[in-house]
A and B are shown apart, each in its own frame.
Chain A
């Protein structure tokens, strides 16, 4: 453990102070959940047509959180450098997840200043915008 013990001035006790703030956060979420429940009573989520294995619909779309990956997969040409495009489209996301997975071991130097926060923030915004763009592209195409 690298962090030093906290002094009473810069900390609050977990119970009851911190639990109280968390309780208010939970109350806020419960309010949102209640609104969702009322909305669900007025307009249910609903189901589409029953599944029919013999009838393929024109547009098959995954849930929105897989849509960006699906869009990458769709836009890769069928053959790239003698490898099937499908295989590349599957391997790239797996490598990305593997990179995210081992990231703490690649970027293991302690931060020196707050400047690094802004660099990482810019990178995160870039990634999020790219994912959102791909998702919207996948949604409209």
Chain B
């Protein structure tokens, strides 16, 4: 432990001064910025009073606070310029300030220590590696050789399926923000997404068409594996998990189809669950499990929503993880 030194104190002082300057500049800039939403100022009675000069000293009147309630529909419709402006301002001024502080600190440090500057990234990497020793296994994972025959286009079908699953996850989360899984509200919430929500129809189109694309890619990947015999020993479990993933993808399609709660969806689910009810022995159980009762009702919608949004994604992620780990362990099957 080194004792207190003048050099370190100087560095610290410079840092504090720079920070203080930054805070001063940003707050000053904000104080001078006219309030967002000029409409609110015009509507305020205090302002008109001040402008008319009816009140005694003008300076004594404190300006009214900016309206506290943000325009909620503006946020959904994408007309929310006032919400992003402060973030953009902080990013700009704060970023410039950080660059300035970094420059000062770096110059002072190289001058004080008389040694070349060590970048923050290598410092952070060294800090983590010193504690968790991840550099060696990480290098092993990243430098694992991939055979050149795996660069043919037909080897990327499975990867495309996985990527489309990620796309479905992201767009599905965005849709879930506005979708309401009740028979009264489901249909109108889909209409709301399509007509009112900013980029809502684009997100729904991506979710709709990538779902179809995911099934096509899944089947194409399966056919590739089948034709090339890549399911043979020692890769039997890869095939099993892959078939389960295809079934899960189809369950995604079946449960997601009901969610718009229109005529097509309702009757397709009615017929689909009726077919499940015709399975010998477990038919009635399957029917009641899918419909939550003997008819397709709002309970069915909740059940399908829960399956579509929580159960099936979790199962898919688990089986995808297993699928990938097994591929990683065994490498890509060598064609003849």
Contacts and interface: CB of A to CB of B under 8 A. Distances in A.
B215 interface: yes
B206 A40 contact: yes
A60 B267 CA distance: 6
A137 interface: no
A57 B270 CA distance: 12
Given A44-B205, A50-B263, A53-B266, A120 B229 contact: yes
Contacts, number: 209
Contact of A62 (B243, B263, B272): B272
Nearest to B195: A44
Given A25-B160, A29-B164, A120-B229, A114 B336 contact: yes
A29 B164 CA distance: 8
Q: Label chain A's interface by main secondary structure.
A: helix
B7 to A, nearest CB: 41
A110 B209 CA distance: 39
Q: Label chain B's interface by main secondary structure.
A: helix
B295 interface: yes
13 contacts: A3-B330, A8-B145, A13-B142, A18-B146, A29-B163, A40-B202, A50-B261, A50-B263, A62-B272, A63-B268, A101-B240, A103-B231, A124-B227
A111 B230 CA distance: 10
Interface string B247-269: 10010011001001111111110
A110 B187 contact: no
B28 to A, nearest CB: 42
Interface string B156-178: 10011001100100000000000
Interface residues of A, number: 73
Interface string A111-124: 10110110011001
B205 A113 contact: no
B236 A47 contact: no
Interface of A: 1-3, 6, 8, 10-15, 17-18, 21-22, 25-26, 29, 33, 36-41, 44-53, 55-57, 60-66, 70, 73, 84, 86-87, 89-91, 94, 97, 100-101, 103-105, 107-111, 113-114, 116-117, 120-121, 124, 128
Interface string B325-336: 000011101101
Contacts of B160: 25, 29
B267 A63 contact: no
B147 A14 contact: no
Contacts of B245: none
Given A11-B148, A63-B268, A128-B223, A94 B279 contact: yes
Nearest to A118: B227
B183 interface: yes
A131 B248 CA distance: 20
What 3 A-B pairs have minimum CB-CB distances, sorted nearest first? A40-B205, A11-B145, A51-B266
